[in-house]
Structure 1
């Protein structure tokens, strides 16, 4: 992300007159702080997230919200254009509720009644990791009996 840094100087006499001098600077590269606050999901929550992202429309919504928050109506309009079929507000609300129940999106209302709009934000980044499963060499019974035997020897 590039940002043009502006320096504002207020001189005593100009401040009284309400004038501010703005001096353009050189482009400055801003780095957002990288945080590795990944949480390992328990099996049930991992299945809820996987189930929520199993639907192609919900995957599209999740990716689209990665670009920034959108109003629910705008999201339905973009989905209709991108997918080539009419996505109604009722259908959009259904899929957003599925994503919300998995914790992937959140809603905020903006504006004042009666012109209040629901804005949708991506709530979580998802990274799926896997590791090989190695069953105990003697089977589970053998592993448990060995652990029990070792526990008795310690006494």
Structure 2
């Protein structure tokens, strides 16, 4: 399971010109589920994201979590995070989990993150053609992979 965390000044996701989620300061998280990911990946990744200290404290140092900073959260499913570009110029998405597997894990990640942070998690619509807008703060962008637990 892969996540790209983007610290935002504002972010939103819309489908068919209808906004499904919008936040001011907080995190926009792009989440990709890989074939073979399980509930343990959800638990580890959601905990890691909830405790990630990438927001400024009183001294301007990245020392606060999204919860401590009072930020909002949006999670958008993105199977393209598992693209393989090894052969040719057309990416392969064979490593991405099928929707029957990835959608329940995506929903579980969102629910677990809500529990971990005590913050409602905005969502896109799984499998839809979404338009994502953000003003990246910093910019701060962090990549986390549950198969490479650094």
Fold match by TM threshold 0.5: no
* Bigger Rg, which one: 1
TM-score (norm 2): 0.26
Q: Which has the higher contact order (CA 8 A, sep 6+)?
A: 2
TM-score (norm 1): 0.25
